[in-house]
Amino acid sequence: MSNYHIKHLEEYWQVYRKSLRNPESFWEEIAEEHFLWRKRWDNVLSWDFSKPEVKWFEGAELNITENCIDRHLATRGDKTAILFEPNDPSEGAQHITYNELHERVSKFANVLKSQGIKKGDRVCIYLPMIPELAVSVLACARIGAIHSVVFAGFSATALSTRINDCDCKMVICSDGSFRGNKTIDLKGIVDEALKSCEGVSTVLVAERTKSDIEMKEGRDKWLQPLLDEADSVCKATVVKAEDPLFILYTSGSTGKPKGMVHTTAGYMVYSAYTFKNVFQYREADVYWCTADIGWITGHSYIVYGPLANGATTVMFEGVPSYPDYGRFWEIVEKHKVTQFYTAPTAIRALAKENLEFVNKYDLSSLKVLGTVGEPINEEAWHWYNDNIGKKNSPIVDTWWQTETGGIMISPIPYSTPTIPTYATLPLPGIQPALMDENGKELKGNQVEGRLCIKFPWPSMARTIYGNHERYRDTYFSAYENAYFTGDGALRDAVGYYRITGRVDDVIIVSGHNLGTAPIEDAINEHPAVAESAIVGYPHDIKGNALYGYITLKETGEGRNHDNLSKEINQLITDRIGPIAKLNKIQFASGLPKTRSGKIMRRILRKIACKETSNLGDTSTLLNPEVVNELIEQSLVVS
C-alpha cells in the first residue's frame, strides 16, 4: 500500500487511520520516499501547542528548488513545467520546460546574489501573474532568501506596511500589469509605497507593459540586462528543515496584517502530498489553478505542490471576462486542462453569463474540479458540476487557510463521495475537532461548533513574523492544546465536515479575507467621519459584501452622502485596495453599543442582512432607541 497516492475510499481510511496511530512514521515514510534531502532528519516531530512550538524533520537539510526543479531534469527536462497563458490570447502561450525553468531560476538567483541578497534576507515580490513571479519566488528559495509576495492588487499603503513589517531589503516588481483591457501602473504604486520604506535599497523591475515609468537612480534596476549577464549555474543553498521559506500576509480581525511564517521541509512535504492526492495528479496531466500567486493558494498549488510532483502547472495572467466570459473554457480546451481549481466567486460570476460561453468549448479533458476560499453554495456547485464537469468530474471543495499552508479537509476525487457544500473528510494527518463555546470538545457526529485542529501537521505556519505572542493569542489561546481556525463547522451523521463560515470579525469577500478593523481605520481617517462599523451581508456573486455603518461629525452633517460615499471608498482603495470597498453605506445617527462601549455588531449584521424580525435581546444596550432608527434608515440604503 502506498501512503503517497490514495486511489480508493478503503485505502483512504486505512491511510487515515495509520496517520492517527503513528503520525511520525506516517510522515517519515512519505518524506523519505518522495523527496530529495541533503541530510536526513534526526527527529520527525517535536511539538508543544502551549508555547506554541512545532518542528518537523529537525536536523534535516535540503533545498526546495532541488525538489521542485533539479531532480526532474533527468527524466522530465523537456516537459513543460510552467505553461504561461497571457492576458491577451493573441500574444500566445509560453511553455517553460523544466530545463528552462532551471536556467531561469539559476540566473535570477545569481542576480539576487549580485544585488547583495543573502540567506535569510526578506525580499518583497509585487508582480502580476507573469513567469517572473514564479521564477523570482523560486530564485529566493534557491539561495535561502525569504520571499514575501504581496498580491499586486494591494494599494501603496498596504504594500508599504507589508514591506516594513518584515524589513524587506529588496522589491521585485514590473513596470505595469495587464488586467483585461486595463493597464495598471504597478511601478507607480511601488514608488509611492517606498516613500515610507527606508530599508529597501534595490528595486528590480521586470518589463511587461513597456509603460513610461520613472527609474530612481541607484535604487531601481531593469531586470533583463542583469539576467542577460548572469551565470546560468547557481548552486542551491542548503537550508535547515525549519528555516523560513516565506512570509505571507493574511488579515486578522484586529490590528495590522499578520505575516504568517512558513518553514521549508514540512511545507514542501505537505504541499506536494496534498497536491498529488486532492487533484489525483498523473504524469501527463495539465493542471490549472486560477488563483494568484499573491495568495497562499498560488504558493502551494501553482508553484510548490505541482512542481514538487514534476507537474505542468498553468499560470494565467488575465481575468475570466476578457476578451469575453468564455476565456477560462477556451484555455481549458486549448491546453487540454485536466484539473481545474478556482474560487466559488468566479463560478458564481460565470454562471450568470450565457451558457453559450461554456458550450462553445470542448471541456472533455477535465477530470477533477476544485474550489477554495469560501463556502460554495449549492446552486453554484450544481452549475459547476453540470456545465463544466458534465457530471463526470468530481468536485473537490477544499477547506484550508494561509495559516495551514495546505489543504486540510477535502474529498479525494474518485474515492470520497461528494455532497454539495461539504468539504467532507480530513486529509491523512489532519485531526479536526469541534468545540463548544465553553471550550469543550463536541464528540460524536451531528454536532456543530468551532473548528480546531488537535495535532500538528507538517505545513502549519510556525509563527507570525516578529510577533510570536500574537500567534499564540490568535490561534492557541482559545482552546487548550488545539489550533483554532476562526471558522465554524458542523460534522454530519457520517462524519463529513461542512464549513459554516468565520466566527470572528474576518469577512470573506470574493474569496479574499478582509479584517474589519483596518477598513474601519481607513474610513475613520475621513475628516467628516465620527465612527464606523463594517459587517458582511450575503451577495450573489461575492459571497459576502461589505456594509458600512458610518456616523458623521457635526462638521460632516449636511454634506452630500453620494460624494461622501465616493470619498470614503477612495480612502479604502488608497489604504487597502479596491477589494475592500464598501458595497453599501448607511449614514447612521448612532451605533448600538453595550454599556462598556463596545459596538454590537451582531445587531448591525442582522439589519444589513434584513433579518430584523428577531434581533435578540437589545435591552442591555446603552442606547436601545438607536436600533429602530437604524432599521428605518436601512430601508433606503441601496
Is 368 a binder of ligand WTA (CB under 6 A)? no
Report the distance separating Cα 162 and Cα 132, nearest Å.
Answer: 20
Q: Which of 16, 49, 399, 465 binds ligand WTA (CB under 6 A)?
A: 399
* β-pair type (244-250, 258-263): antiparallel
- With CB atoms as reference, the residue minimizing the distance to ligand WTA is 402
Report the distance separating Cα 152 and Cα 250, nearest Å.
Answer: 14
Nearest approach in angstroms of CB 432 to ligand WTA is: 13
Question: Of the two residues 456 and 511, which places its CB atom closer to ligand WTA in the complex?
Answer: 511
- CB within 8 Å of 170: residues ≥ 6 apart: 112, 115, 117, 121, 123, 124, 200, 201, 202, 203, 204
Nearest approach in angstroms of CB 339 to ligand WTA is: 16
Sheet holding 202-206, edge to edge: 220-222, 202-206, 170-174, 122-126, 146-149, 244-250, 258-263, 463-464
- Residues 224-263 within binding reach of ligand WTA (CB under 6 A): 250
Cis amide bond preceding 52, omega within 30: yes
Contact assessment for residue 507 and residue 543, using Cβ atoms and an 8 Å cutoff: no
The crossing angle, in degrees rounded to 10, of helices 561-575 and 156-165 is 30
Q: Which of 132, 317, 374, 504 binds ligand WTA (CB under 6 A)?
A: 374
Q: Which of 82, 388, 423, 626 binds ligand WTA (CB under 6 A)?
A: 423
Grid cell listed for 312: 505542468
Nearest approach in angstroms of CB 264 to ligand WTA is: 20
Is 402 a binder of ligand WTA (CB under 6 A)? yes
- Residues 167-196 within binding reach of ligand WTA (CB under 6 A): none
Is 398 a binder of ligand WTA (CB under 6 A)? yes
Q: Which pairs with CB-CB distance under 8 Å and at least 24 residues apart come from 382-391? A: 382/420, 383/347, 383/351, 384/347, 384/351, 385/420, 387/351, 387/355, 387/358, 387/359, 388/329, 388/340, 388/358, 388/363, 390/363, 390/364
Q: Which of 155, 177, 297, 544 binds ligand WTA (CB under 6 A)?
A: 297
Is 579 a binder of ligand WTA (CB under 6 A)? no
Q: Which of 508, 572, 580, 630 binds ligand WTA (CB under 6 A)?
A: 508
Is 418 a binder of ligand WTA (CB under 6 A)? no
Nearest approach in angstroms of CB 510 to ligand WTA is: 11
Tell whether the torsion through CA atoms of 566, 567, 572 and 578 is positive or negative: positive
Q: Which of 85, 100, 317, 397 binds ligand WTA (CB under 6 A)?
A: 397
Question: Of the two residues 108 and 151, which places its CB atom closer to ligand WTA in the complex?
Answer: 151
Question: Of the two residues 37 and 341, which places its CB atom closer to ligand WTA in the complex?
Answer: 341
Is 426 a binder of ligand WTA (CB under 6 A)? no
Question: Of the two residues 23 and 375, which places its CB atom closer to ligand WTA in the complex?
Answer: 375
Contact assessment for residue 34 and residue 71, using Cβ atoms and an 8 Å cutoff: no
3-state helix, strand, coil in the chain (%, to 5): 35, 25, 40
Nearest approach in angstroms of CB 456 to ligand WTA is: 18
Grid cell listed for 218: 541607484
- CB within 8 Å of 131: residues ≥ 6 apart: 82, 84, 94, 96, 104, 315
Question: Of the two residues 405 and 428, which places its CB atom closer to ligand WTA in the complex?
Answer: 405
Number of amino acids touching ligand WTA (CB under 6 A) = 22
Read off φ and ψ for residue 82, nearest 5 degrees: -115, 125
Q: Which of 486, 518, 543, 592 binds ligand WTA (CB under 6 A)?
A: 486
Nearest approach in angstroms of CB 483 to ligand WTA is: 12
Span of 15-23, 174-182, 315-323, 396-404 interacting with ligand WTA by CB under 6 A: 396-404
Nearest approach in angstroms of CB 252 to ligand WTA is: 11
Report the distance separating Cα 291 and Cα 158, nearest Å.
Answer: 20
Span of 121-129, 289-297, 467-475, 560-568 interacting with ligand WTA by CB under 6 A: 289-297
Q: Which of 26, 316, 400, 497 binds ligand WTA (CB under 6 A)?
A: 400
Question: Of the two residues 129 and 571, which places its CB atom closer to ligand WTA in the complex?
Answer: 129
> SS3 sequence, 518-552?
HHHHHHHCCCCEEEEEEEEEEECCCEEEEEEEEEE
- For residues 470, 475, 478 and 481, what is the CA-based torsion angle, rounded to 10 degrees? -120
Nearest approach in angstroms of CB 52 to ligand WTA is: 18
Span of 1-9, 196-204, 481-489, 583-591 interacting with ligand WTA by CB under 6 A: 481-489
Is 373 a binder of ligand WTA (CB under 6 A)? yes
Q: Longest Cα pair distance anywhere in the chain, in angstroms?
A: 74
Question: Of the two residues 41 and 400, which places its CB atom closer to ligand WTA in the complex?
Answer: 400
Report the distance separating Cα 110 and Cα 112, nearest Å.
Answer: 5
Q: Which chain residues interact with ligand WTA by CB under 6 A? A: 250, 295-297, 372-375, 397-402, 423, 485-487, 499, 502, 508, 513
